[in-house]
Structure 1
C-alpha cells in the first residue's frame, strides 16, 4: 500500500463535496458522533423543540473562582421567626452558629428584628454594623 504524503483533505480544499458526490454524503455523525450539520437550516424545527442549549457557550468553570455558601440577614431573620433554625436564648439574645448549619459568609441585606449572637467564618461590614445596632454580637471564627 502506498503512503500518501499529503492528506486528501488538503488537496480538496475549495471543492464543495470533497469528491464524495452528493452534498449530503459524509456529513453525518456516523458511529463515533462528531458534528451535526443543518441545525440552523433544515433541522431548525427539531432544534427549537429538543435542542434548546445547542448554541452558545457551555460548561467552562473558572478554576480560580471559589464558591461560598452565603446567607443574608433577611434570610436568617425569616428562618429564625419561622422556626427553621433552632436558636439558643441566653440573656435575651438568640445564639446562632452558622458554621454548624453549613454557611460560610453572612451578608448585610435585610433587617434584624432581635439581638443576635452569630458565629460565622466571614461577614460583611454592613452585616456586622446591623447586628451590633440591634444589640447583638458577631463572632468570627478563625480559618484553619
Structure 2
C-alpha cells in the first residue's frame, strides 16, 4: 500500500529531540510532574480541585468502600415462581419433592436455591420452604393455593 506521509523517525533524523522541544521534555516523568498520583497534595492540587469531589477529594484521596468478609456474605441463588411452576412436576417424577394433601412440598435449599423471587406466574399449589422470599412471590403462591414457610440458613 502506498504511504502518503513520511515517518517522523525518517525525516527528523539528526534533529536531536524529534519535535519534543527541549532535551528531556519527552523522557521519563520529569516533565509531567512525577509518576502516577504523585503531587496531588502539592503541585497538582489544581487537578484535585477541578476533577475531585468537593470536600473529600475523591477519587484521589481516602479509602473507598467496604469489603465484607466472605464468612458473613451470602451468595444468592434465586429462582422465580414461574420457573418453579414449570419444573415442579418434573421434580416430583424425579423424587426431589413430595406431595401432601394435594400440594407439592418444595425445599429450595435441597434443590440448591436460597431465594424465591416473584417473576412469572404459578397455578400449582405448592408449599415452599425457603430462607428468603419476595413479597410478590409470597402473594402469587398464596393466590395459587399454596404457602411460603421461611427457614433459617445454618452456616
TM range (shorter): 0.5 to 0.7
SS at match of 1:99: helix
Which residue in 1 is equivalent to 2:25? 14
Task: Give the deviation of 1:101 after TM superposition.
Answer: 1.3
Flag structure 1 segments of 5+ consecutive residues without an equivalent.
1-11, 19-61
> What root-mean-square deviation, in Å, do the aligned CA atoms of Structure 1 and Structure 2 show?
2.7
- Deviating above 4 A after TM superposition, structure 1's stretches of 4 or more consecutive aligned residues are none
Matched, 1:71 2:82: no
**Residues 120-131 of structure 1 mapped to structure 2, 5 A cutoff:** 120-131=130-141
Which residue in 1 is equivalent to 2:88? 80
Between structure 1 and structure 2, the one with the greater Rg is 2
TM-score normalised to structure 2 length: 0.50
TM-score normalised to structure 1 length: 0.53
CA distance in 2, matches of 1:100, 1:116: 15
Q: 1:109 aligns with which of 101, 119, 123?
A: 119
Which residue in 2 is equivalent to 1:56? none
- Change beyond 3 A, Cα 1:102–1:137: same
Task: Give the deviation of 1:16 after TM superposition.
Answer: 4.9
Matched, 1:139 2:149: yes
Task: Give the deviation of 1:66 after TM superposition.
Answer: 5.2
Aligned residues: 90
